[in-house]
């Protein structure tokens, strides 16, 4: 008989599967202190929490029989993942439980925005009957731009079609085939900005998506756009949005999230007549709270019964001998994935990982997860980890392929990552560990190189002509960009070539734009490897 402790308030309906299981005993005991949990946790096989219980290393150490900790929600900040992993305890969450409720909140905000519902309500209950001030618009025959076509964005698009809207969908992993299946038109961010009547964002907040809609985008935006954000504060530049509304570019906005939560009392969103706000209610429904409990309960049962499970958020169990061989390559693999993703400009449909040398003789699935995490993190940020990376890739129709060979072109081990895109673009990178030098990138596309994968880099493609290196160095020097190292790769004299510069700090976009004005220089791009 397995014993499960529920230490936070969770409805019986949410954990009904656990309660009804013949081989599981459920004990509900909430509001326990750390000391109280330490004293009793040793008798339990599973612990189910929300956000109140802090699952510390002390608790996990005392949990001699613990096999799994389930978080009935998305975040796991209240659980010591490292301590759980060290003790072989699986930590799971429920990433899909709030999909529908956030989608519906987005639609509620869009309808309220289209018909001025909060403003009209406030005036009506204050005793003013004012029909003329709140002339709204229909959703039918309007164009909706969806930035981010993951779980929530796809559900929003599905419902918008039922309202008779035309959908423009943007996502870095959205291919033509998947867009067609979803019934949306594949678009760029610029397409949406220039053509949509309504725009809703459903992307994670990453360095790349932070302020992805800011002053430059508002300057070319279709006049009268209405904007909804129920995703993350910071994706849309709040101060730039205020200016765009005041200038008549944006007709109105509805925000459930803020860059700083809760916002300051003098935040301009809070008293602007054309902005609707709610206090981060996207996942706040009875059904969503029950759904996350149901999802976690199901996975807890699978784990206790030694059945296949999903939604783990910590490192899976790997044999010690295999881990010893793989671990030195984890950081390199993630950096290779990140680098090649940053130089790939189109929707990816395949991530091909080739292992050569001694790595071809062991189970490399865990290492592949790090590589895929590196690829996806460019667009998904902290939403991707080594457990869910393969699942997230598949959910976006990105195929992950492994191949192995013993020949290594002179290296003890060689990892080659190739990204294939829908427009037949292929980008390739290879790396290894060199004795005395550590992690090295040794190939980029068809060019041999020797680069340490860390810090800030500038990747330049150019024609192999005399004087280009000097022009580049002079321009960077004038802009106070110090070059730490330089690599040049070419196949033939006078032909296509690349230059990779390692620099000491971030490179301003204006400098990159000036670089491409140099004669015979084709592209210049910054690559950041944290």
Give tens-digit pLDDT for 403-421. Answer: 998 776 678 899 999 999 9
- As a CATH number, domain 99-277 is 3.40.50.720
Q: Which of 50, 232, 378, 457 is catalytic?
A: 232
Q: Where are the domains of the chain?
A: 2-96+287-304, 99-277, 316-454, 457-525
* Predicted local distance difference test score (pLDDT) of residue 286: 87
Judge contact between 45 and 67, C-beta under 8 A. Answer: yes
Q: Is the pLDDT of residue 75 over 90?
A: no
For 79, phi then psi, to 5°, come to: -120, 130
Q: Is the pLDDT of residue 239 over 90?
A: yes
Calculated CA dihedral for residues 405, 406, 411, 417, nearest 10 degrees:
10
Task: Give the residue among 460, 458, 457, 455 at the shortest CA–CA distance from 529.
Answer: 455
Q: Is the pLDDT of residue 386 over 90?
A: no
* Predicted local distance difference test score (pLDDT) of residue 316: 60
In 294-307, which positions are buried (b, 16+ CB within 10 angstroms) versus exposed (e)?
bbbbbbbbebbeee
Q: Is the pLDDT of residue 121 over 80?
A: yes
Peptide bond into 262 cis (omega under 30): yes
Give per-residue pLDDT as tens, 463-483: 988 888 999 999 999 999 999
Choose which CATH entry (3.40.50.720, 3.50.50.60, 3.30.70.260, 3.40.50.620) describes domain 2-96+287-304. Answer: 3.40.50.720
Task: Evaluate the CA torsion angle 260, 266, 269, 270 in order and state its sign.
Answer: positive
Q: Tokens standing for 437? A: 């030098």
Q: Tokens standing for 387? A: 């457990």
* Predicted local distance difference test score (pLDDT) of residue 382: 76
For 403, phi then psi, to 5°, come to: -140, 155
Give per-residue pLDDT as tens, 422-437: 888 899 999 999 887 8
Give the span between the Cα atoms of 116 and 135, in whole angstroms: 8
| Assigned CATH class of 457-525 | alpha beta
Question: Mean per-residue pLDDT for 449-456?
Answer: 92
Residue 64 among the catalytic residues: no
CA angle in degrees (0–180, nearest 5) for 473-477-478 = 120
Q: Tokens standing for 71? A: 């978080």
Percent of the chain residues topping a pLDDT of 70 = 98
Tell the CATH topology of 316-454.
60s Ribosomal Protein L30; Chain: A; (3.30.1330)
Q: Which of 272, 280, 352, 471 is catalytic?
A: 280
**Residue, of 21 and 306, whose pLDDT is higher:** 21
Task: Evaluate the CA torsion angle 384, 386, 387, 392 in order and state its sign.
Answer: positive
* Predicted local distance difference test score (pLDDT) of residue 318: 66
Q: Where are the alpha helices (DSSP H) in 388-467?
A: 389-395
**Residue, of 144 and 410, whose pLDDT is higher:** 144
Q: Is the pLDDT of residue 232 over 70?
A: yes
| Distant-in-sequence, close-in-space partners of 527: CB < 8 Å, separation ≥ 6 | 339, 342, 343, 456, 457, 458, 459
Give the span between the Cα atoms of 348 and 359, in whole angstroms: 25
Give per-residue pLDDT as tens, 286-324: 888 888 999 999 999 999 998 878 788 886 656 667 778
Residue 261 among the catalytic residues: yes
Q: Which of 20, 261, 307, 510 is catalytic?
A: 261
Give the distance, in angstroms, between the CA of residue 529 and the centroid of all CA atoms in the same chain: 16
Percent of the chain residues topping a pLDDT of 90 = 69
Residue 280 among the catalytic residues: yes
Question: Mean per-residue pLDDT for 208-237?
Answer: 96
For 498, phi then psi, to 5°, come to: -130, 155
For residue 207, the tally of other CB atoms under 10 A from its CB is: 9
| Distant-in-sequence, close-in-space partners of 515: CB < 8 Å, separation ≥ 6 | 458, 460, 472, 475, 521, 524
**Across 109-118, 194-203, 447-456, 487-496, least confident range:** 487-496
Instruction: Name the residue with tokens 């025959």.
Output: 141
Give the span between the Cα atoms of 329 and 327, in whole angstroms: 5
Give the span between the Cα atoms of 196 and 192, in whole angstroms: 5
Asked if the domains at 2-96+287-304 and 99-277 fall in one CATH topology, the answer is: yes
According to the 3-state scheme, what is the secondary structure of 507-526? CCHHHHHHHCCCCCEEEEEE
Strand partners, 25: 3
What is the helix (H) or strand (E) element at residue 93, kind and residue range?
Answer: none
Instruction: Name the residue with tokens 């925000």.
Output: 255
**Residue, of 395 and 194, whose pLDDT is higher:** 194
Give per-residue pLDDT as tens, 242-265: 999 999 999 999 999 999 999 999
Give the span between the Cα atoms of 365 and 371, in whole angstroms: 10
**Across 92-96, 279-283, 461-465, least confident range:** 92-96
Task: Give the residue among 451, 304, 420 at the shortest CA–CA distance from 354.
Answer: 420
* Predicted local distance difference test score (pLDDT) of residue 242: 97
Task: Evaluate the CA torsion angle 16, 22, 24, 26 in order and state its sign.
Answer: positive
Arithmetic mean of pLDDT over the chain: 91
Task: Give the residue among 498, 365, 502 at the shortest CA–CA distance from 429.
Answer: 498
* Predicted local distance difference test score (pLDDT) of residue 243: 97
Question: Mean per-residue pLDDT for 134-153?
Answer: 95
Q: Tokens standing for 214? A: 């800011």
For residue 135, the tally of other CB atoms under 10 A from its CB is: 8
């Amino acid at each position: 008989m397995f014993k499960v402790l529920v230490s936070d308030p969770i409805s019986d309906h949410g954990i009904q599967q656990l309660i009804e299981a013949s081989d599981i005993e459920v004990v509900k005991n909430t509001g326990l202190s750390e000391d109280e949990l330490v004293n009793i946790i040793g008798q339990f096989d599973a612990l189910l929490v929300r956000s109140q219980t802090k699952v510390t290393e002390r608790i996990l150490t005392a949990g001699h029989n613990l096999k799994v900790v389930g978080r009935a929600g998305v975040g796991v900040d209240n659980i010591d993942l490292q301590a759980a992993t060290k003790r072989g305890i699986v930590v799971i969450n429920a990433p899909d439980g709030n999909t529908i409720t956030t989608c519906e909140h987005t639609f509620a905000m869009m309808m309220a925005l289209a018909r001025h519902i909060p403003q009209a309500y406030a005036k009506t209950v204050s005793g003013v009957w004012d029909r003329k001030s709140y002339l709204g618009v229909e959703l039918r025959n309007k164009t909706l731009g969806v930035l981010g076509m993951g779980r929530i964005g796809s559900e929003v698009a599905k419902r918008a079609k039922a309202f008779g809207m035309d959908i423009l969908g943007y996502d870095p992993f959205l291919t033509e085939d998947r867009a067609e299946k979803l019934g949306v038109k594949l678009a760029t961010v610029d397409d949406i900005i220039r053509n949509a009547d309504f725009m809703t964002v459903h992307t994670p907040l990453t360095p790349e998506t932070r302020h992805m809609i800011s002053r430059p985008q508002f300057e070319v935006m279709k006049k009268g756009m209405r904007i909804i954000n129920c995703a993350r504060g910071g994706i849309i530049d709040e101060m730039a949005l205020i200016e765009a509304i005041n200038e008549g570019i944006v007709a109105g906005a509805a925000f459930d999230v803020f860059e700083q939560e809760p916002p300051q009392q003098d935040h301009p969103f809070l008293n602007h007549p054309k902005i609707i706000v709610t206090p981060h209610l996207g996942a706040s429904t009875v059904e969503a709270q029950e759904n996350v409990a149901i999802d976690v309960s199901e996975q807890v049962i699978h784990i206790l019964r030694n059945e296949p499970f999903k939604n783990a958020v910590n490192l899976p169990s790997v044999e010690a001998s295999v881990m010893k061989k793989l671990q030195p390559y984890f950081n390199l693999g993630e950096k290779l994935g990140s680098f090649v993703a940053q130089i790939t400009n189109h929707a990816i449909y395949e991530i091909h990982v080739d292992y050569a040398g001694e790595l071809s003789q062991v189970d490399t699935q865990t290492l592949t997860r790090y590589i895929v995490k590196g690829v996806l993190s460019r667009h998904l940020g902290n939403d991707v980890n080594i457990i869910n990376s393969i699942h997230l890739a598949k959910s976006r129709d990105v195929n992950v392929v492994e191949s192995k060979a013993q020949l290594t072109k002179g290296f003890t081990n060689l990892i080659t990552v190739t990204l294939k895109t829908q427009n037949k673009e292929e980008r390739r990178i290879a790396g290894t560990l060199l004795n005395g030098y550590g992690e090295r990138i040794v190939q980029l596309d068809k060019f041999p190189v020797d680069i340490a994968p860390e810090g800030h880099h500038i990747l330049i493609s150019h024609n192999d002509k005399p004087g280009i290196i000097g022009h580049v160095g002079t321009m960077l020097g004038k802009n106070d960009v110090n070059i730490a190292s330089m690599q040049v790769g070419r196949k033939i004299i006078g032909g296509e070539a690349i230059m990779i510069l390692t620099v000491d700090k971030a490179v301003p976009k204006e400098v990159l734009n000036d670089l491409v004005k140099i004669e015979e220089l084709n592209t210049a791009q910054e690559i950041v490897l944290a």
